[in-house]
């Protein structure tokens, strides 16, 4: 089995991304307004798609912790979620945890909004205080 892991360090404009193929986890956290959203998210999609294809029978847990994201990043997140929902529809066990600061209404609303798209994957809204 090829290792499809991916690790991207956070910058002031882009989130940290970590796909741990062995443990079946994907995490994204921080702020997201990269200069070129396609260039940033392209390799992430590719890695996730390859991992999903190569890890039949393995569950995937996705942890999202965003402070802020711009419109392009929102579109990228929607595409990623669609890909995950389709994989779940095909039988893969997928859990998505949407972490947000309880004082951040916008992130909460976005999470609630995204939650509506999932029928096959599990989507959890997780309020999380910073010192928790």
Partner 1 sequence: MTETSRKAESDFTLFDSEDRVLEHASTILDGLEETTDLIKTLTTAYKRAVKDQKRMVRLCDRMQEELIAVKERLEGEVKARAELAEQFRMQAITDGLTQVFNRGHFLELCNHELKARSRTEAPLSVALLDIDHFKSINDTYGHAAGDEALRVVARTLENSLRQSDVVCRWGGEEFSLLMPRTNSENASGLADRLRKTLSEIVIKEGGTSFSLTASFGVATMVGPNPACKATGADAIDLLFKDADDALYEAKGAGRNKVITAKARLLETAEAVD
Q: Which residues here bind partner 1, judged by CB under 8 A? A: 70-71, 74-75, 78, 82, 106, 109-110, 113, 117
Euclidean distance between CA atoms 55 and 52, whole angstroms: 5
Nearest CB to partner 1, comparing residues 9 and 112:
112
Q: How far is the CB of 22 from partner 1 (least distance, A)?
A: 33
Q: Which residues are registered as beta bridge partners of 64?
A: 28, 98
Nearest CB to partner 1, comparing residues 15 and 24:
15
> H or E element: which one contains 109?
helix 105-115
132: buried, middle or exposed (CB in 10 Å: 19+, 13-18, 0-12)?
exposed
Helices (H) and strands (E) in the chain, counts: 3, 6
Q: How far is the CB of 99 from partner 1 (least distance, A)?
A: 18
Q: How far is the CB of 8 from partner 1 (least distance, A)?
A: 23
Nearest CB to partner 1, comparing residues 63 and 108:
108
Nearest CB to partner 1, comparing residues 3 and 35:
35
User: What are the start-end ranges of the H helices in 22-104?
Assistant: 37-54, 71-89
Q: How far is the CB of 113 from partner 1 (least distance, A)?
A: 6
């Amino acid at each position: 089995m090829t290792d499809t892991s991916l690790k991207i360090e956070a910058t002031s404009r882009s989130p940290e991304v970590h796909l741990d193929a062995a443990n079946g986890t994907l995490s994204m956290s921080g702020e997201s307004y990269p200069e070129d959203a396609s260039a940033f998210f392209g390799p992430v999609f590719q890695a996730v798609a390859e991992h999903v294809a190569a890890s039949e029978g393995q569950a995937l847990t996705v942890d999202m912790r965003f402070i802020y994201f711009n419109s392009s990043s929102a579109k990228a997140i929607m595409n990623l979620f669609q890909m995950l929902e389709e994989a779940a529809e095909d039988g893969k066990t997928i859990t998505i945890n949407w972490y947000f600061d309880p004082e951040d209404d916008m992130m909460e609303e976005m999470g609630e909004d995204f939650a509506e798209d999932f029928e096959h994957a599990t989507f959890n809204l997780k309020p999380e205080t910073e010192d928790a």
